[in-house]
Amino acid sequence: MNSTTPLTVGEHPHASFPEGVELDCGVTLAPVDIAYCTYGQLSANKDNAILICHAFTGDQYVAETHPLTGKPGWWERMVGPGKPIDTNRFFVICSNVLGGCMGSTGPRSPRTDGQEAPGELWGTAFPPITIRDMVRAQHKLVRSLGIERLFAVVGGSMGGMQVLEWAVTYPQMMRAVMPIATAPFHSAQNIAFNEVGRQAIIADPDWRGGRYWEAGVVPARGLAVARMMAHITYLSEEVLTRKFGRRMRRGPVGGQGPEGPVSTFGDIFEVESYLRYQGSSFVRRFDANSYLSITRAMDWFDIAADHDGDLTPAFAGTAVRFCVVSFSSDWLFPTSAARTLARALNRAAANVSFVEIETDKGHDAFLLEEPDFDRTVRGFLCGVAEHAGLF
Amino acid sequence: MNSTTPLTVGEHPHASFPEGVELDCGVTLAPVDIAYCTYGQLSANKDNAILICHAFTGDQYVAETHPLTGKPGWWERMVGPGKPIDTNRFFVICSNVLGGCMGSTGPRSPRTDGQEAPGELWGTAFPPITIRDMVRAQHKLVRSLGIERLFAVVGGSMGGMQVLEWAVTYPQMMRAVMPIATAPFHSAQNIAFNEVGRQAIIADPDWRGGRYWEAGVVPARGLAVARMMAHITYLSEEVLTRKFGRRMRRGPVGGQGPEGPVSTFGDIFEVESYLRYQGSSFVRRFDANSYLSITRAMDWFDIAADHDGDLTPAFAGTAVRFCVVSFSSDWLFPTSAARTLARALNRAAANVSFVEIETDKGHDAFLLEEPDFDRTVRGFLCGVAEHAGLF
């Protein structure tokens, strides 16, 4: 596990902002690159742009083959010609978040605070970032594309946090938003899980105080453990039972497996092999310091914090149309959190729909085959377009 | 973290069984020591003995100061004179499980399979053990104390698994059982969490292939990460919110903490400090190889496995009285699992009560102040004693 994994940043298409971004922490991070992909055509009126915000470990490769993994885009079933987010009608933009590791400025970018040694990367000196900082960078990107107003901002999980931050910070900048499988703040349990992931990474001696690149290693074991744990939280207990149950790869204790007698070690249950695979494949595409930075941004997320803990004033007077979506078996961002959000929006007299999709697939359902969810996305976007006289 | 932690086994009171225990894996483990504590007096008729089975990281120090931590016994509020398990009436026995690290034979005991080097400990060569193996060792202990039949077997979590295994393997050996906050099998989600804990330990270079004692180190970082993660599963989302919420130890991002500006690193939220403390204090009292062995025993646990997946035949014809207890906010061993157990017992025409305690404290509720639970334990044991004409 000590070898360097193929984490070459590569030349992802990106926009450069030499002036940088003013961060919540008070620092101006400059320069800033934001890597992004687009799909479809921007209309002559520039009124058909949908910004998609990716989840924690997602990236800008929404609807095309991923350049590192060779796998399909993470939302190809949702985004494309004739798909619910129909690129025959809409111009779709997705950018890698600030702090990410797929071409946007993050801990793996060259350090630029004047303290840098030659060739030094940011590493742990990368300033603390927030979800609002990510949104500020996206805002720069959107404006640089000549777009004055987005048609919609859509995203799930941490993407949904960005959606909410967009609606609060730039309420004039979009007609509609879809916050999906998300919450208006990160809960104590969410913070706790993130902290275990961070500790797993920091505990790996190959993390080397965040300067692993200097030794040509990555903290692969710690990052894999963090991913394994997080992955459990993305699935429901029901779907784990349905997909794996107690099925064993080897015989029961006392039996002979193909590799000899069953022992305490090695993978015995299928669910273990699945998790180990999730952990090891993640290490090849994600940067450990980005993991630390972005989980911290999620932990800080709390829309009500600027309003003495009251969510309603954050949305006061908003003209944005909201469609809040939750999934019944999601225990990481449960329906109760979405309901809290929807109630605050109603108290602010916002135009809000709230849809709970029945599914046993847990938090990951927003990435998976859910026909009712697809119909919700397609229907909401069509409805807003018709209402606006767009198509 | 590289220094040796004070994990001296010490001379815990114990019984020795030179003939050993036949294990499910086919190996006879010999000799076997079982460390135990007792409270109260065994009656002349030897009919008032209650065996308490401890949870995963518990031990035999139920109702007295712990010799390593100096803390009160883990169930002092339940066990003692006048307590719900009243040692003025009952003779209480609790033994450290086989595979444990508080005096019973486990991975930290001297290796005795004929392959050992001088002074070698079992380490990862310790044979795989099951919950049934733990119960076989407890059975030897109980018989060695001259007890033909226990009054009751009581335990929560992994202790509840042992309780069920007792009822199935030695149904003539007790009047009553209380399986608490447990399940008749370990679920895919439970196995998944255990596997992440194991991987965190194994990933720690100080684990050294399980031979850390030779280097005078312990895999403290990996063990702490495993404990932190497990600890989240012992608490409910509600209790984490009630106890910690989003309270910060430092200011928000951009502010100045007492140790300088808030950064991505360091503990920012109170829930993080709490978890880190749980992790680091655990390392001082628990052995990493025991963690691996015992989690595996839990994973293998499946009462129905010997009956083609059908739980009912496991309890056919039983004369034991069952009181099944669950806690409403326990998501590790949820009420649904207890209900599955109670239904199977009913189908087997067993004498069964099923009590769900309303609480927001999650899985750990069985160790905490829950007056309704206390009344249930006291009432059930008194009822069985009166029914039997004991007191």
Out of B124, B188, B254, whose CB is closest to A25? Answer: B254
- Tell me the pairing of strands A21-22 and B91-95: unpaired
Please check the confidence at residue A9 and state whether its pLDDT lies above 60.
Answer: no
Q: Indicate the DSSP class of residue B27.
A: P
Same domain as B113, residue B43: yes
Residue A2 lies in a domain: no
Q: Tell me which chain A residue has its CA closest to the CA of residue B254.
A: A25
Q: Which of B248, B272, B292 is where one domain is finished?
A: B292
At A14-32, the pLDDT tens digits run 999 999 999 999 999 999 9
- Are A276 and A322 found together in one domain? no
Percent of chain B with pLDDT over 90: 91
How do residues A64-98 score in pLDDT, each as one tens digit?
A: 999 999 999 999 999 999 999 999 999 999 999 99
| From A109, A157, A293, A329, the catalytic residue | A157
A329 and A280 belong to one structural domain: no
Residue A258 has pLDDT above 60, yes or no: no
Pairwise CB contact (< 8 Å): B192 & A275: yes
B227 marked as part of a ligand binding site: yes
pLDDT at A141: 98
Catalytic residue among B95, B109, B157, B326: B157
Q: Looking at the structure, tell me whether residues A69 and A157 fall in a common domain.
A: yes
Shared-domain flag, residues B185 and B324:
yes
Query: Does residue B325 form part of some domain?
Result: yes
Complete DSSP assignment for A223-241: HHHHHHHHHHHHS-HHHHH
The CATH number of the domain holding residue A131 is 3.40.50.1820
* Cβ neighbour number for residue A156 with a 10 Å cutoff: 30
Using a 10 angstrom Cβ sphere, with 0-12 exposed, 13-18 middle and 19 or more buried, the burial of residue B356 is middle
Mean pLDDT of A327-353: 98
- CATH at A218: 1.10.1740.110
Q: Which residue of A has its CA nearest to B256?
A: A25
Query: Is B47 within a domain?
Result: yes
Q: Across chain B, what does the average pLDDT equal?
A: 93
Active site residue A287: no
Last residue of a domain, one of B292, B310, B329: B292
Domain count, chain A: 2
**Residue A243 C-alpha, separation from nearest chain B C-alpha, in angstroms:** 9
Q: Are A66 and A72 in contact (CB under 8 A)?
A: yes
Q: What is the number of CB-based contacts under 8 A between chain A and chain B? A: 183
**Given B185, B246, B254, which is nearest A24 (Cβ)?**
B254
Is B330 part of the annotated catalytic residue set? yes
**Same structural domain, A176 and A254:** no
**Annotated binding-site members of A for substrate:** 227, 364
Same domain, A48 and A128: yes
* CB contact (8 A) between residue A200 and residue B26: no
Task: Confirm if A8 and A221 have CB atoms less than 8 A apart.
Answer: no
Pair B21, B147 in one domain: yes
Please tell me the distance from the alpha carbon of residue B196 to that of residue A178, in angstroms, as a whole number.
33
B300 neighbourhood in chain A, CB within 8 Å: 252-253, 268
- pLDDT of A39 over the 50 cut: yes
Domain with B320 in it? 14-189+302-387
Instruction: Tell if the CB–CB gap between A232 and B262 is shorter than 8 Å.
Output: no
What pLDDT score does A5 carry? 38
CA A376 to chain centre: 20
Would the pLDDT of B259 be above 80?
no
Nearest chain B Cα distance for residue A11, angstroms:
27
Based on the domain organization, do A172 and A219 belong to the same domain? no
DSSP-derived secondary structure letter, A144: H
Q: Hey, are the CB atoms on A188 and B271 less than 8 Å from each other? A: yes
Nearby residues of A126 by Cβ (< 8 Å), 6 or more positions away: A99, A106, A107, A109, A111, A289, A293, B264
Of B80, B87, B49, the residue nearest B166 (C-alpha): B49
Tell me the chain A residues in contact with residue B228 when contact means C-beta distances shorter than 8 Å.
192, 195-196, 199
Give tens-digit pLDDT for A103-118.
999 999 999 999 999 9
Q: How far apart are CA A126 and CA A106, in angstroms?
A: 7
**CB atoms near residue A117 (< 10 Å):** 7
Q: Using pLDDT thresholds of 50, 70 and 90, give the confidence band for residue A52.
A: very high
With b for 16 or more beta-carbon neighbours within 10 A and e for fewer, the A79-98 pattern comes to bbeebbbbbebbbbbbbbbb
If 0-12 CB within 10 Å is exposed, 13-18 middle and 19+ buried, where does residue B69 land?
exposed
Beta bridge partners of A179: A155
Contacts of A278 in chain B (CB under 8 A): none
Instruction: Say how far apart CA A305 and CA B375 lie, in whole Å.
Output: 42
- Which of B26, B302, B331 lies nearest to residue A254, judging by beta carbons? B26
Please indicate, yes or no, if residue A9 is contained in any of the structural domains.
no
Q: What value does the mean pLDDT of chain A take?
A: 93
Report long-range pairs for B72-79 (Cβ below 8 Å, ≥24 apart): B74/B367, B75/B367, B77/B369, B77/B374, B78/B374, B78/B377, B79/B39, B79/B52
Q: Are A348 and A312 in contact (CB under 8 A)?
A: yes
How close is the nearest chain A Cα to the Cα of B243, in Å?
9
Closest C-alpha among A281, A302, A282, A278 to residue A290: A282
Orientation angle between helical segments B288-300 and B188-203, nearest 10 degrees: 160
Per the CB < 8 Å rule, is B246 touching A185? yes
Chain-chain contact of B229 with A229 (C-beta, under 8 angstroms): yes
- Give the model's pLDDT for residue B3: 34
Q: Please report, to the nearest 10 degrees, the dihedral formed by the alpha carbons of residues B147, B153, B154, B160 taken in order.
A: 130
Residue A50 in domain = yes
Read off the pLDDT band of B264 (50, 70, 90): confident
For residue A8, tell me if it sits in a domain.
no
Q: Quick one: average pLDDT of B257-274?
A: 75
| B363 belongs to the catalytic site | yes
Query: With contacts defined as CB-CB under 8 Å, which chain B residues touch A124?
Result: 263-265
Confidence bin at B93 (pLDDT 50/70/90): very high
Residue B235 in tokens: 């608490």
For residue A256, the distance in angstroms to the closest alpha carbon of chain B comes to 10
Residue A254 pLDDT:
66
Share of chain B above pLDDT 70, in %: 94
The whole-angstrom separation of Cα B105 and Cα B98 is 6
Say whether both B19 and B126 belong to one domain.
yes
State how far residue B307 is from chain A, nearest Cα, in angstroms: 14
Would you state the pLDDT for residue A1? 31
- Across the range B321-331, mean pLDDT stands at 98
Enter the ipTM: 0.93
The two three-digit tokens of residue B127, written as one number: 């044979």
Beta-carbon contacts of B234 under 8 Å, excluding residues fewer than 6 positions away, are B332, B362, B363, B364
Question: What's A205's DSSP letter?
Answer: G
Reported confidence tier of residue A11, pLDDT bands at 50, 70, 90: confident
Q: Is the pLDDT of residue B371 over 70?
A: yes
Comparing A250 with A246, the larger pLDDT belongs to A246
Same structural domain for residues A181 and A209? no
Closest CA to A128 of A4, A11, A350, A301: A301
Q: Which of B292, B320, B343 is the last residue of a domain?
A: B292
The pLDDT score that the predictor gives to residue B391 is 80
A7 — pLDDT class (breaks 50, 70, 90): very low
Mean pLDDT for the stretch of residues A172-185 = 98
A113 token code pair: 């605070």
Least CA distance to A130: which residue of chain B?
Answer: B253
Nearest chain B residue to A188 by CA distance is B245
Asked whether residue B45 is assigned to any structural domain, the reply reads yes
B184 lies in the same domain as B201: no
Contact A185, A302 (CB under 8 A): yes
Which of B159, B188, B132, B138 lies closest to B56, judged by CA? B159
Asked if residue A116 belongs to a domain, the reply is yes
**Residue A260 confidence (pLDDT):** 56
Question: What number of other Cβ atoms are within 10 A of residue A343's Cβ?
Answer: 14
Which residue of chain B is at minimal alpha-carbon distance from A199? B225
Detail the residues of A annotated as belonging to a binding site: 227, 364
What DSSP assignment string belongs to B140-158? HHHHHTT-SSEEEEEEETH
- A286 contacts: CB under 8 Å, gap ≥ 6: A57, A101, A223, A227
